[in-house]
Amino acid sequence: MNALVRWELQVVTDSPHSRACMEAEDTPTHVMLECTGVTEQREIYLGSRATIPEVLSNLGGMLGFWNELGWLE
């Protein structure tokens, strides 16, 4: 979990996800697992029913997902 927390802090600080949807939660886990604003990209890179352990073990998919959203820049 520590790696995830560190990573979340980094992503949240750099990339407010309000670009994708208007929901209150603004965390990478929301974006990767729940956000309705990025459903299409999530299905392509992470699968529509991914869990956090699955996402974290799929580094290529995760990076592709964020890169597709343009939030790594």
Q: Which residues bind Zn ion (CB under 5 A)?
A: 20-21, 23, 35
Q: Which residue is nearest to Zn ion (CB)?
A: 35
Rounded-to-integer distance, Cα 58 and Cα 52, Å: 10
SS3 content of the chain, % helix, strand, coil (to 5): 65, 0, 35
Nearer to Zn ion, 35 or 69 (CB): 35
Rounded least distance, CB 26 to Zn ion, Å:
7
Segment holding 61, helix H or strand E: helix 59-69
Nearer to Zn ion, 2 or 37 (CB): 37
